A and B are shown apart, each in its own frame.
Chain A
Amino acid sequence: MVSSATIPEVSTAARVTGARIDVRNVSHWFDLPAGPLHVIDELDLSIAPGEFVALLGPSGCGKSTLLRLVAGLEPATTGELLQDGAPITQPDPSRIVVFQDPTLFPWRTVWDNVALGLQARGILKSQRHRVDEALALVGLQDFAKAFPHQLSGGMAQRVALARALVNDPTLLVLDEPLGKLDSLTRLSMQTELVQLWQRAGFSALLVTHDVEEALFMAQRVVVFSDRPARVKQVLVNDLPYPRHRGDPRLAALRHEALALLGLDASW
């Protein structure tokens, strides 16, 4: 362990340079038995390096589909998606998705779950410390040996976060990651996520249908129309972090967002 020849790998907590993502003129159809379903319509969207962007829209409008395209899990029907200028054609460890369900592998311990990405790339043996660091980052170092079924919903989602962060992603794709948590856990996880993002420096793309969550966390909130998804409006939230939930500016933005979604009657 005293070999000075090997330079220690960049630790998980270290800053990365966020990815720049460009979505250019993307349209997408699903090939369903009943005929093609148009889910995304000529969408243009850019994420600056290190930016936190949220996608807000009615459910079933194609937000999650866009995430899958950005992650490279599916190819877009037409148009192009670029990461730092290079086309996105397949999944890549630099763009990690955190799903609504933690989707932890139930047969693996917490530690082994977090180690998944490093193991998949065959670098686990030399990088074991990164797993410990990622677990420490989400405050779960004491639960390394636990199995997923022993965790609460919030803890499981934090493990999923650690499993994403251990890969030092330059883009973190968040698909309603807090959607199934109870409201208190949800609020604290929002703050935690923002802190992680600020510390690590990755770009973040969050899909949510929670207006407050989107406005509280993101710098830019893209409001989508009904399916097929089109950009209805982009709300810019330039409030500095850490933000305060009672900020009048947030309230004003929230009103605006709800109006865009046709829900301002009850405001």
Chain B
Amino acid sequence: MSTVADNILGAPPGISPKPSQPPLRAPSPSSGAPRAAGAQPATAPDFKAAKAAQGVWWAGLAAAVAWAGLALLTGLWPNKPAGFSEWAFTEEFAWGAGGVSALLLALTVLARPLAAVVRRVRAAGPWLVAIAVGLAVWEVFTAKLGTLPPPFFAPPQSLVEVYATDWPRLLESAGASIRLLALGIAIGAAAGFVTGVLIGWSRQASYWIHPVLRILGPVPTTALLPVSFYFFPSSWSTAIFLIALGTAFPVAILTWSGVAGVHKNFYDVARTMGASPWFLVLRVAIPAALPQVFVGLFMGLGAAFSTLVVAEMLGVKAGLGWYLTWAQGWAAYPNMYAALIVMALLFSGVITLLFVLRDRVLSWQKGVVKW
């Protein structure tokens, strides 16, 4: 079962980039011998250690130089006067970049005693260089040259300022968003899953629910916002409802297709062995459909995120979406960028969590069981 969506899920960018790992799969499937657990993984660290031991970490050295350059550029090149006042936290930002540089230098010089750490960050070397270069370009075009003018564009140090001074409000907003998301997604995933199993299993349920799903499902939940604000006692419960709805639709559809797509022979095997209908649902249909359910959840998260942000912008008086509109209202663009970054990290974190869960639950799908 390798659908397109499955393939997307199969290669989460942030989760399994382990290029330094040797292929653990048995060379030929026809040889049939499953790898003795414990025997194979033992070879992996040796291999990695051998690889880590070879030579200097050049990318790390380059990264240290790049961050040092960023520090010097920020600290020594005076900011262009921006009309109102001097950009705060310029010095702190320079010192911070210098700190990163020193850390990277230490890692490259003390590669031997810090081998464990180096092994973990080694692959990130080129990215560390790129980030420093990117920050430097950003710094130059905003604070130093003013090519990108304030207030719409803000230099990196202004984000540092926001995080340093406004963190309680950001934290509170992030907390409110997480609460909404968690509740909405949990309710939506559960409802979608049950609905999907129902229509996948029962002809009756399919007859009644499927047309409703088909008509209402594709409607973006954000379009229902204005209506729902009337029906629910608070904007908060509206948001929960809509996030749940947005999550439930793809989960229901994909769970349904998963359950409906289970090979008939699986049922036959279980039936000849005396399985009850309940057994067929819980022990055959649902486990067989789980890969699809996770694809549905992945799609549902996207819907949940956009619903969350729009709901917070329009009605809910808390959360990162609310922070965004609030910051925009005050023309506090650095705050907006800062909140956007928090939002990006939060949402990608949620997706990472889903992938981790998926890899755990569906470990049987892989040639390699990771631990």
Contact = CB atoms under 8 A, between A and B. Distances in A.
Interface of A: 71-73, 91-93, 95-97, 99, 101, 103, 105-108, 116-117, 119-121, 143, 145-147, 149-155, 163, 167
Contacts of B362: 107
Contacts of A116: 269-270, 273
A91 B274 contact: yes
B26 to A, nearest CB: 7
A106 B367 CA distance: 12
Given A93-B273, A96-B272, A117-B274, A106 B365 contact: yes
B31 interface: yes
Nearest to A151: B32
Interface stretch (B203-211, B239-247, B283-291): B283-291
Contacts, number: 86
B265 A99 contact: yes
Contacts of B35: 150
A228 B283 CA distance: 37
A96 B367 CA distance: 30
B266 A105 contact: yes
Nearest to B361: A107
B217 to A, nearest CB: 28
A97 B287 contact: no
B34 interface: yes
Contacts of B231: none
Contact of B265 (A101, A147, A152): A101
B215 interface: no
Give 5 closest A-B pairs by Cβ, nearest first.
Answer: A152-B32, A150-B34, A117-B273, A146-B34, A120-B275
Nearest to A120: B275
B168 interface: no
17 contacts: A71-B272, A73-B272, A91-B271, A91-B273, A96-B272, A97-B268, A107-B362, A120-B270, A120-B274, A121-B274, A143-B34, A145-B37, A147-B34, A150-B32, A150-B35, A151-B32, A152-B32
A258 B31 CA distance: 35
B32 A105 contact: no
Contacts of A93: 272-274
B80 interface: no
